[in-house]
Structure 1
Amino acid sequence: AVSAEHCTCPEPLSDALNASAGNGSEAQNATVRFTATPEGTALAYGSLLFMALLPIFFGALRSVRCSKSKKGGEMPETITSRDAARFPIIASCTLFGLYLFFKLFSQEYINLLLSLYFFVLESLLCRILSARLDPDVERLRHHLTNSNNVVFAEILNYEFDTKSLICLVLSSVVGVWYLLKKHWIANNLFGLAFALNGVELLHLNNVSTGCILLGGLFVYDVFWVFGTNVMVTVAKSFEAPIKLVFPQDLLEKGLGASNFAMLGLGDIVIPGIFIALLLRFDVSLKKNTRTYFYSSFVAYIFGLVLTIFIMHTFKHAQPALLYLVPACVGFPVLVALLKGEVTEMFSQSKEGLGIVI
């Protein structure tokens, strides 16, 4: 998760679509150049698009409920305009720092440490799964107590239920699977959980802040993808669930496929928190419509499809925010102009967006 207070971006790899992973072996890729079939390519890109939409849509819905949550552990982080302005700078430092680490130290040991770190973060996946199960499962309670008849002191006071136990087991299985095999399905399960959590819990305080954040990351993305090879290098070397991947050779090799198209979680979470903000703005208008949410959601689809088309046409990794930012900002602003609600959109504060649906 991203801390708004420190503006740390652990997913600086906001692009590098269609980078071939090949189990991380550049020598193997150089020896055998894989040529994807049209069917395999369409399946890979279509799956990435579908997976990207899931955390944005459901994360936005949950962000509205989360904005009024009274549970301390679920309170959303609020990104201010100052945070948004600093975000691209610290993200650039993080990205370049990772690049230097991969150049100076063994990639194997770095990825091992990262794998252990993300294994610990499986608790996020557990919380996401727990929220999806039937609430009736909570009725079965479990208590940990001292086995002696005389209790001298409270040993442990932690409440959990059957739902929590089920989700802990499931997330642990996925965590061990990813830690041992680095399988792309396990990677995507973690990635989707992290993205959903990010969209739900990271809240922009107003639309102006969202424009500052997206504008800054627009420049960040373009520079690090087109200006240098840093972004693509780190994306290919970074073995952690900070990107969604889907094999282009799935039809030929099945679940053991190894040539992946990829989409960084930053390309999902960053536009996603802006789309979630617009949904909360829709709710605050109390007009029983979701015009701004749906317009920005369609804009995201358009921008991502355009990214894939340009990347596939020119056979070069693309900075996805180059296309996503103008679409996700431009479409809703155009709608606001047509409806005469530009002033309301840009003057709305966070307090006016905390409506429960």
Structure 2
Amino acid sequence: MKNCERLANLALAGLTLAPLVVKVDPNLNVILTACLAVYVGCYRSVKPTPPLETMSKEHAMRFPFIGSAMLLSLFLLFKFLSKDLVNAVLTCYFFVLGTVALSATILPAMKRFLPKHWNEDLIIWRFPYFRSLEIEFTRSQIIAAIPGSFFCAWYASQKHWLANNILGLAFCIQGIEMLSLGSFKTGAILLTGLFVYDILWVFFTPVMVSVAKSFDAPIKLLFPTADSARPFSMLGLGDIVIPGIFVALALRFDASRGKESQYFKSAFSGYTVGLVLTIIVMNWFQAAQPALLYIVPAVMGFLALHCIWNREVKPLLEFDESNTEIKSQEGSTDEYSKKVE
């Protein structure tokens, strides 16, 4: 598993840098970059214990409404305030967030070259005058934050598309790695809600497209084109992370049973097919498309057909990652890790 992840990391890095030296078809670049980001994030999410943040059914049902409120708020900010002012504030926010995400993404690779106690010994820092607030970190995290902060400084000063994409990919990988849906039922609720959300805001209002074009921050991946009228193709990070956490759940479901990645392959294939359909329809109509309109049915459909074919609908619907964590604690963590790998 680790070898596959390393190869995917190298391929993702090469694909991200490729447009600097050779002409790359932006449509192909969108598909390969998004799929590799999902692949890397999924495999990084497979650990002896589930991801730290687990979404409940209630959160999944509320998420489209919260997302709609945030989207509309940003639209109004850009409409009534200076675009430069809003983007300046967002740049400061994403400088901090980007440093954290990029540091966490490169940390596993750096740990191998650092002393073991640097990776394990915790340093606790308490805020002055607010002693109850504290932050825990290791020396390795500090070392990883140095290149992360320099890179974010380059992004803030230049806003180069390459810097934007690297930060965006770090957000995607961290999002897929750290977030858990908990169960496929919660995942179905979330994806269905965002399926409707994406359609409404793209097809029936100008809000989504307007915010995407005005928002000068790494919330989307930019793919250079040869068209001067439209220099970049765009793909929102939500179109990678939201389906990605569902695909990652399928991989951890396979791993929890000690079997090959059979349902992961179905869900991942569904994501790829859905993304290809998005690109085809977008080019056919020459208009922005809600990617989740095509990705959500493909991911859920491929997975549903596979488990129906295997007659394993009940085990899949009853899967709960909180139970997986208990099992791994009762048994040997090493044995669980061997199953995963």
Alignment TM class, shorter chain as reference: 0.7 to 0.9
Deviations along 1:239-273, one digit per CA (max 9) or x if unpaired, are 010111111039x9xxxx98100100000000000
Match of 2:243 in 1: 271
The 2-side partners of 1:353 and 1:328 are apart by 23
Aligned position for 2:151: 174
What residue in structure 2 maps to residue 47 of structure 1? Answer: 29
Consecutive unaligned residues of structure 1, counting only runs of 5 or more, are 1-38, 69-74, 144-155
Partner amino acid, structure 2, of 1:57: Y
1:278-334 Cα shifts (integer Å, max 9, x gaps): 111111222x21111011111111100110000001000000000000000000110
**Per-residue deviation at 1:44?**
1.2
| Cα pair distance change 1:335/1:123, threshold 3 Å | same
Greater helix proportion:
2
Give secondary structure in 1 for the equivalent of 2:260: coil
Matched, 1:342 2:306: no
Deviation at 1:199, TM superposition (A): 0.3
Instruction: Please say if 1:185 is aligned against 2:156.
Output: no
Q: Residue type of the partner of 1:322?
A: L
TM value normalised by structure 2: 0.80
CA distance in 2, matches of 1:265, 1:131: 23
Distance 1:46 1:138, change over 3 A: farther
Is the 2:60–2:190 contact (alpha carbons within 8 Å) kept by the matching residues of 1? yes
Query: Residue 46 of structure 2 contacts residue 252 of structure 2 at CA under 8 Å; is this kept in 1?
Result: yes
What is the match of residue 102 of structure 2?
Answer: 125
1:91 to 2:67 alignment: yes
Q: 1:60·1:199 contact (CA, 8 Å) conserved in 2?
A: yes
Contact preservation (8 Å) 2:104, 2:174: no
Question: Where does structure 2 lack aligned partners over 5 or more consecutive residues?
Answer: 1-21, 122-133, 326-335
Distance 1:66 1:260, change over 3 A: farther
Distance across 2 between alignment mates of 1:141 and 1:320: 42
**Whole-Å separation in 2 of the counterparts to 1:164 and 1:84:** 31
1:29-68 superposed matches below 5 A: 43-65=25-47, 67-68=49-50
Distance 2:279 2:135 in 1: 51
Count of residue pairs the alignment pairs up: 293
Change beyond 3 A, Cα 1:56–1:158: closer
Larger Rg: 1
Does 1:78 find its partner at 2:57?
Answer: no
CA distance in structure 2 between the aligned counterparts of 1:140 and 1:83, rounded to whole angstroms: 38
The yes-or-no answer on 1:101 pairing with 2:73 is no
Can you list the C-alpha shifts for 1:153-184, whole angstroms capped at 9, x where unaligned? xxx998744x5455323212211111011000
Q: How far 1:123 sits from its partner (Å)?
A: 1.7
CA distance in 1, matches of 2:41, 2:274: 19
Q: Which residue of 2 aligns with 1:112?
A: 88
Q: Residue 55 of structure 1 contacts residue 199 of structure 1 at CA under 8 Å; is this kept in 2?
A: no
Deviation at 1:134, TM superposition (A): 5.0
Which amino acid counterpart does residue 259 of structure 1 have in structure 2? P
**Residues 151 and 163, structure 2, Cα contact 8 Å, conserved in 1:** yes
Q: How does 1:306-345 map to 2 (within 5 A)?
A: 306-345=277-316
> Between the two proteins, what is the percent identity of the paired residues?
43
CA contact 1:191–1:241 (8 Å) conserved in 2: yes
User: Are the counterparts in 2 of residues 77 and 201 from structure 1 also a CA contact under 8 Å?
Assistant: yes
SS at 1:65 equivalent: coil
Letter of the aligned partner of 1:261 in structure 2? S
Q: Which structure has the higher relative contact order (CA within 8 Å, separation 6+)?
A: 1
SS at match of 1:167: helix
C-alpha distance in 2 between matches for 1:243 and 1:271: 15
Q: Which runs of 4+ in 1 moved over 6 A?
A: 156-159
Match of 1:296 in 2: 267
Q: What are the superposed Cα offsets for residues 105-157 of structure 1, whole Å, 9 maximum, x if unpaired?
A: 000000000001100111221121111225142358599xxxxxxxxxxxx99
Length-normalised TM-score, structure 1 = 0.77
- Provide the alpha-carbon RMSD of the alignment: 2.5
2:293 match: secondary structure = helix
CA spacing shift, 1:157–1:301, aligned 2, 3 Å:
closer
SS of residue in 1 equivalent to 2:290: coil
Letter in 1 for 2:76: L
- Report the equivalent of 2:198: 221
Contact 1:300 1:324 (8 Å CA) reproduced: yes
Quote the residue 1:16 is aligned against.
Answer: none
SS at match of 1:137: coil
Residue 285 of structure 1 is matched in structure 2 by 257
Describe the shift of the 1:126–1:308 C-alpha distance in structure 2 as closer, same or farther (beyond 3 A).
same
Match of 1:35 in 2: none
Structure 2 distance, partners of 1:48, 1:344, is 34
> For residue 57 of structure 2, what is the amino acid of its counterpart?
S
